[in-house]
Every structure is written in structure tokens, then in C-alpha cells.
């Protein structure tokens, strides 16, 4: 039965005598196959964890197929051996007969040679009487020839004292060799003991050398190499270098120590180059694992040259935006071109400042190889720098101090002054995508914040003041809305009016809401309030300067009976057309059809906007920041005044002449003075005048 060899080897069982080769019992063959399979399985268990999933599967399938074929052949051999007893007996008989024949032939040849060559010169030597006397009397044989003594009798072992002296002498020889030769700067950390010197390069390698004599021409002998590069993330605590690789490096390094004027420098270059290549391989495998498990498309390996450099790009979303020259953020780990003895260097694109580069690090820290840690440190510095630039831009438009705090770091911008902490604009960055995120610390769902975030992500910050003003107006409206909650009225987002097409009110700003005027049932009162920006262009809305401009009467028609909203049609050239675009409407308590219109206007004063004029300082506010006293005052004033206005209208209908709504002499309330009464039938004139 013919069987092809498995994995380059040959499995055969030989039968026969001396000419047929040695006999290998079947049990020895089985033991050899089992040991070989176990060895291959052990090597496979050591190498597979460092390979990819597909490579591991291929290796396992190849190992299973190869082992299966081997054991199938062994099974066939066992079955064949069980039926070959007669053949074995005949083979043994033939082998025995051939062996006996060869013995006879060899005996005859040996006897013939002895008779012709050896016995011809055979003589009886003289008896060695001195040696016999020494043996019989002394019990020893002191006359053994020197040639026999040197080749057979081992020399006496040296004593511990001689051994200690020899090691001390060898230590001094090593010290002299090191002093008289030039050492690499990185190999200055050494220890000499017991005739050996150990060089230790932190987180790279450790070597042990010795000398075989005191001659200056004797080369260094490399005893041991220990590679100290580790992978704390994916290495599972195992060595990254196989024993066969270590043996090859040992042979290569030993060859560099022979016939070399600077042997230790060449030794360091070989081992340092290997360690740097291993470090780059570790960082590359960590990056691939990071892409596969957590970061996804947010990072990418742009370039990897074995033993030279690794380039990783991050914040990939920034390159997808519609820009002419998008900024590509890259992190490069590479071998120093100026001095190969330096550790792996770190470069950044775009280039960082010297302070930022020192915060990240100019070289790889070999004590903890982690590409994720390096990326997070780089991104943290990038975020800090970008938020710092944003802080300078925001500082042009706000009074308070912009602060960077929290973890992860965020920029807190006080849009209003005075302000509460949960009214701050909080600007931070997405560490994975590199986009800017904006939010209010305690308020959600503000459209102006989303618009500001989109504007900041566009990269052009020239019109930042416009978005700050819009957000500032919206925050004041929120304050007004919260102030209304303490008053006996309600507010709403939309004014219940039917506006004719192309009416100027359709262009009103979105920053508004409405509050009903109290104690009125069939009139709307429009009161325009102007909020002027005081101070520099970066000033906030403080204090509120309120101007009561005009009262107006709007006839209402109830479109929905028993409804909370009264639908009114505003005619062209109506006084409401003069109301500012940024306004809101306040409903008076206990009334369904009376509102106060509060409008927000931005000062157009060039000196104020350019910061050439400082406005008056604000008085320190007492109580809650949300409580706006001017808003309470205008509501109460409108509520009180409208009653006199309605009374005056009724007087006019009935012919009563009055002076109009006025403030009394003490300035505490409104009054309406009657000048004359109309003539009433059946009442005497004297009575009317009296």
C-alpha cells in the first residue's frame, strides 16, 4: 500500500535485516506521530491569537486536514500489520540467515587479516615491574602517561575561591573595556556583576554581554536578549516576539559584535530598529481594532510603512463638508529622520503650537503604548484650542467673562447680564466627529441655538454678532414668559388675529408671544415697548427701557362662541403696522380679548455698537432675575387705564364732556374729570348746572 508523505515528511515501517535498515516498532511510530501532532498544536495555540480571524480559520482547517491524513495512514498501517504475521516470520527468518552469513564472512575476513598483518609483528612486551610494585604496595598507578591523562582524566575542578577571583578579574576586564570604548547614550544604564554586564534600555530591550578573555581583540559575547515592548490593550500579557525570532535576532546581533570598531553602537541600532518596528506594528493593530470596535469611519489609517511611519486621520466628518479647502486632521507617528536613536516621534497636521505639542508629547511614551490614549490627548488639545478661539469671538459680543470648564470641557458664554448659570450658552465639541455642539444649560428646544450651532459648524464666524443678538432677544422673551407665570394672566405663542395677505404683520420676527390684558372683554390695547441695548455692542439687554407709545382700539368680532380666542381682522394702515417686528403680546388676566404688545428693538446707535460709548452702569437687581418689574407695571397700568378709557368712550357716546384720562396730582392713580353734562329732558337747567 503506497501512501504519499504528509507535510513534507515520510512515514514508513522498515522490515528486514541489517541491509534493509533499522526496524521501527509500531508503538514507537504511534508515539512519534502523537508527539508531532501535540507540538504542532502547541505552536498553533501560540501563533493564532496574533492573526486575524480569517487567518486563524485557515490555519485550523489546514492543521485538521494534515493531521487527519496522517492518522488515516496510521490506521491503514495498523490494519495491514495485523494481517502480516506470516510475512513477518518469513522476513525475520531471512534476516536471521543473512545476518549469520555475514557473521561467518566477517569472521573469516578478520582472521585472514590478523594472520597476514597483525600477528606478523606481534611481540611480547617487557614486563612493567615498577608499575606492578606501585600497584601492589601503594594501591595507585602514578606512572600514567601524560597523553592519556590529558585526554581521558578530567582536570580537577577549581575551588570556590578561585572561581570568585576569576569572576572578579573578568569584571575588572569588562569595566576596563567599557571605559576604554564609546557607549551609545541610550545604553548608559548598566550593571556589572559576576563577570557579566547587563544593558537596560527602558521599554525597549535588555541584553547581557560578557568577554571570553582579557585580550582587547576578543569580541563581546552576547548571552541573552529580552524584548521589553508590550501591548497592554491586545497582547493579553503575552510576549510579542516568538522564540525563533529571538534566536534569529541573537545571531544577527552577535555577528555585528565581531570585527567591528563600534560594536555596541551597531548592537543598539539593530535592537532599537527592531523595537521601533514592533511598536509601530502594535499601534497599527490597535488602530485597526479601534476602527472595528468603536470609532468606525471617524478615523482611518492613511499610511502605514513597516518600520518607518503610521499616519492616522481623525475628525473625518470635517472633510465631508462643502468647502473649497477642507482641513484634514492627521496624527503621524514616525521614526526620527535626524537621529534614529530617538524614540518614535509625533507630528500633527495642521501644525500645533509649541505649547500644544508639549501637552500631547513630542515622542511616544513607550511605557504605555496606546493609540487610543494618544488620539484622545490630541483631540482634547484640539478641542481646547478651538474653544479658546471661539471664546475670543464670543467675548466681542458679551459683557461677562467666557469660561471653559466641566468635563468634557465646554465653553460657557453669558449671553445676558445679569444672568443665571442655567441661562449660559454651552458650547462643546464632539470628540469623535469634531463638530461643534451648542445648547443652553437649563433650557431646551430653542430654535436660535440650533441656528447658532449650524453657523458655528460652517467655519465662517464673521456674522456671529447677529446670531448672538437673536439668541439674546429670545432669552429675554423667555424671561418675560416666566415673569407672566407670577401674574394673574396667561400667555400664548400665537396672536388670535386673522391678518390680511401681504400685511406688514406677516414680516414680524419669530421672537414673540402674547399676553391678555386683564378685566376687558371687547377691546384690544396695543402697547409698544422698546428695549434698547445699553453699553457696547457686546452688552446684554439691561436694563429694560420701556416706552408706552400708543393705545389703540380694535373692534372685535367673535368667530367662535365661548372660545378663549377672539379672531380679529386688522385693516390696512392700522396702527398695529407701526409696531416693531420683534415683539410679543401679553394677555391681561380675566379677559379674553385684550393684549399688551411688547416689542423688542435693537439699538442702531453706531457708537454703542462699535463700543465707542459706554452706557450707564446697571443697578444691581434684587430678587429673581426672571421677574421683570417693568412688565408687571405696564400690565397693571394698562388694566387700570383701559377702564377709564372705556368709561370715557361711554361718556362721549352720551354727550358728557370730560378732560380725558389723566394722572392725579399726587401721581398715585388715574382720574377722569367731567367738564359738563348733556341736557336731560324734564330736568331744569339750574339743577343740571348745580
Residue 261 has pLDDT above 80, yes or no: yes
* Nearest C-alpha neighbor of 57 from the set 68, 48, 65: 48
Model confidence pLDDT, tens digit, residues 58-96: 989 999 999 999 999 888 888 877 777 777 788 889 999
C-alpha cell at position 425: 450658552
Q: 643-646: long-range contacts at Cβ-Cβ below 8 A with a sequence spacing of 24 or more? A: 643/519, 644/670, 644/671, 644/672, 645/551, 645/553, 646/520, 646/523
Average pLDDT, integer, range 377-394: 89
Whether the CA torsion 409, 415, 418, 420 is positive or negative: it is negative
C-alpha cell at position 227: 524584548
C-alpha cell at position 31: 508515539
Return phi, psi of residue 580, to 5°.
Answer: -60, 150
Band the pLDDT of 269: cuts 50, 70, 90. very high
Q: 5: which DSSP letter?
A: P
Residue 403 has pLDDT above 80, yes or no: yes
- The predicted structure's pLDDT at residue 511: 65
pTM of the model: 0.59
Give the CB-side neighbour count of residue 446, counting CA atoms within 13 A. 27
Q: What is the DSSP string of 257-284?
A: HSS-SSHHHHHHHHHHHHHHHHHHHHHH
Q: How far apart are the first and last CA of the chain?
A: 150
C-beta separation of 484 from 515 below 8 A = yes
Residue 141 has pLDDT above 50, yes or no: yes
- The predicted structure's pLDDT at residue 238: 73
CA distance 372 to 286: 8
C-beta separation of 35 from 27 below 8 A = no
CA distance 129 to 263: 61
Q: 657 pairs with which residues across the strands? A: 676
The alpha-carbon radius of gyration of the chain (Å, integer) is 51
More confident residue, 508 or 471: 471
CA distance 626 to 628: 6
Q: 301 pairs with which residues across the strands? A: 312
Count the Cβ atoms, other than its own, within 10 Å of residue 82: 9
Matching residue, cell 424671561? 479
Amino acid at each position: 500500500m503506497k501512501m504519499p508523505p504528509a507535510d513534507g515528511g515520510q512515514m514508513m515501517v522498515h522490515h528486514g535485516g541489517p541491509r534493509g535498515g533499522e526496524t521501527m516498532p509500531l508503538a514507537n511510530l504511534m508515539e512519534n506521530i502523537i508527539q508531532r501532532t501535540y507540538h504542532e498544536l502547541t505552536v498553533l495555540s501560540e501563533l493564532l491569537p496574533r492573526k486575524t480571524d480569517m487567518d486563524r480559520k485557515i490555519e485550523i482547517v489546514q492543521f485538521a486536514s494534515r493531521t487527519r491524513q496522517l492518522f488515516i495512514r496510521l490506521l491503514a498501517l495498523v490494519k495491514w500489520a495485523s494481517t502480516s504475521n506470516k510475512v513477518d516470520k518469513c522476513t525475520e527468518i531471512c534476516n536471521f540467515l543473512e545476518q549469520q552469513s555475514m557473521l561467518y564472512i566477517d569472521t573469516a575476513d578478520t582472521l585472514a587479516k590478523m594472520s597476514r598483518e597483525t600477528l606478523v609483528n606481534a611481540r611480547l612486551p617487557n614486563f612493567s615491574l615498577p608499575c606492578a610494585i606501585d600497584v601492589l604496595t601503594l594501591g595507585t598507578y602514578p606512572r600514567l602517561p601524560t597523553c592519556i591523562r590529558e585526554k581521558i582524566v578530567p582536570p580537577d575542578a577549581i575551588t570556590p575561591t578561585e572561581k570568585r577571583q576569576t569572576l572578579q578579574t573578568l569584571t575588572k576586564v569588562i569595566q576596563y573595556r567599557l571605559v576604554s570604548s564609546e557607549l551609545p547614550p541610550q545604553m548608559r544604564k548598566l550593571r556589572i556583576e559576576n563577570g557579566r554586564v547587563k544593558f537596560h534600555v527602558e521599554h525597549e530591550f535588555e541584553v547581557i554581554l560578557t568577554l571570553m578573555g582579557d585580550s582587547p581583540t576578543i569580541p563581546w559575547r552576547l548571552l541573552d536578549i529580552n524584548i521589553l515592548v508590550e501591548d497592554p490593550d491586545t497582547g493579553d500579557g503575552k510576549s510579542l516576539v516568538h522564540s525563533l525570532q529571538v534566536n534569529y535576532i541573537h545571531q544577527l546581533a552577535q555577528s555585528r559584535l565581531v570585527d567591528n570598531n563600534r560594536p555596541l553602537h551597531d548592537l543598539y541600532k539593530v535592537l532599537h530598529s527592531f523595537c521601533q518596528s514592533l511598536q509601530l506594528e502594535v499601534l497599527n493593530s490597535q488602530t485597526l481594532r479601534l476602527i472595528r470596535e468603536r470609532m468606525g469611519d471617524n478615523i482611518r489609517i492613511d499610511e502605514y510603512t513597516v518600520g518607518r511611519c503610521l499616519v492616522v486621520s481623525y475628525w473625518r466628518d470635517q472633510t465631508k463638508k462643502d468647502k473649497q479647502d477642507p482641513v484634514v486632521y492627521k496624527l503621524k507617528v514616525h521614526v526620527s529622520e535626524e537621529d534614529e536613536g530617538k524614540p518614535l516621534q509625533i507630528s500633527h497636521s495642521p501644525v500645533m503650537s509649541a505649547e500644544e505639542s508639549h501637552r500631547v508629547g513630542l515622542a511616544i511614551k513607550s511605557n504605555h503604548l496606546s493609540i487610543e490614549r494618544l488620539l484622545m490627548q490630541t483631540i482634547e488639545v484640539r478641542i481646547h484650542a478651538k474653544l479658546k478661539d471661539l471664546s475670543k469671538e464670543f467675548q466681542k459680543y458679551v459683557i461677562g467673562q467666557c469660561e471653559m470648564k466641566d468635563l468634557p470641557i465646554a465653553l460657557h458664554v453669558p449671553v445676558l447680564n445679569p444672568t443665571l448659570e442655567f441661562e449660559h450658552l454651552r458650547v462643546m465639541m464632539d470628540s469623535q466627529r469634531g463638530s461643534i455642539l451648542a445648547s443652553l444649560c437649563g433650557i431646551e428646544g430653542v430654535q436660535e441655538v440650533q441656528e447658532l450651532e449650524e453657523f458655528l459648524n460652517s467655519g465662517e464666524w464673521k456674522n456671529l454678532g447677529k446670531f448672538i443678538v437673536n439668541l439674546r432677544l429670545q432669552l429675554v422673551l423667555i424671561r418675560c414668559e416666566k415673569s407672566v407665570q407670577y401674574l394673574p394672566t396667561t400667555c400664548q405663542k400665537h396672536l388670535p388675529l386673522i391678518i390680511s395677505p401681504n400685511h406688514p404683520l406677516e414680516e414680524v420676527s419669530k421672537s414673540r408671544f402674547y399676553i391678555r390684558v386683564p378685566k376687558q372683554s371687547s377691546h384690544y390695547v396695543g402697547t409698544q415697548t422698546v428695549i434698547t441695548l445699553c453699553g457696547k455692542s457686546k452688552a446684554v439687554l439691561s436694563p429694560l427701557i420701556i416706552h408706552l407709545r400708543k393705545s389703540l382700539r380694535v373692534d372685535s368680532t367673535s368667530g367662535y362662541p365661548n372660545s378663549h380666542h377672539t379672531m380679529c381682522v386688522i385693516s390696512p394702515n392700522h396702527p398695529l403696522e407701526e409696531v416693531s417686528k420683534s415683539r410679543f403680546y401679553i394677555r391681561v388676566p380675566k379677559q379674553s380679548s385684550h393684549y399688551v404688545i411688547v416689542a423688542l428693538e435693537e439699538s442702531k446707535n453706531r457708537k454703542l455698537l462699535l463700543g465707542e460709548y459706554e452706557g450707564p452702569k446697571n443697578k444691581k437687581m434684587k430678587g429673581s432675575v426672571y421677574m421683570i418689574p417693568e412688565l408687571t407695571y405696564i400690565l397693571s397700568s394698562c388694566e387700570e387705564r383701559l377702564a377709564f378709557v372705556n368709561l370715557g368712550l361711554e361718556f362721549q357716546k352720551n354727550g358728557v364732556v370730560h378732560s380725558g384720562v389723566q394722572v392725579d396730582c399726587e401721581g398715585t392713580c388715574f382720574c377722569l374729570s367731567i367738564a359738563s353734562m348733556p341736557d336731560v329732558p324734564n330736568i331744569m337747567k339750574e339743577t343740571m348746572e348745580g
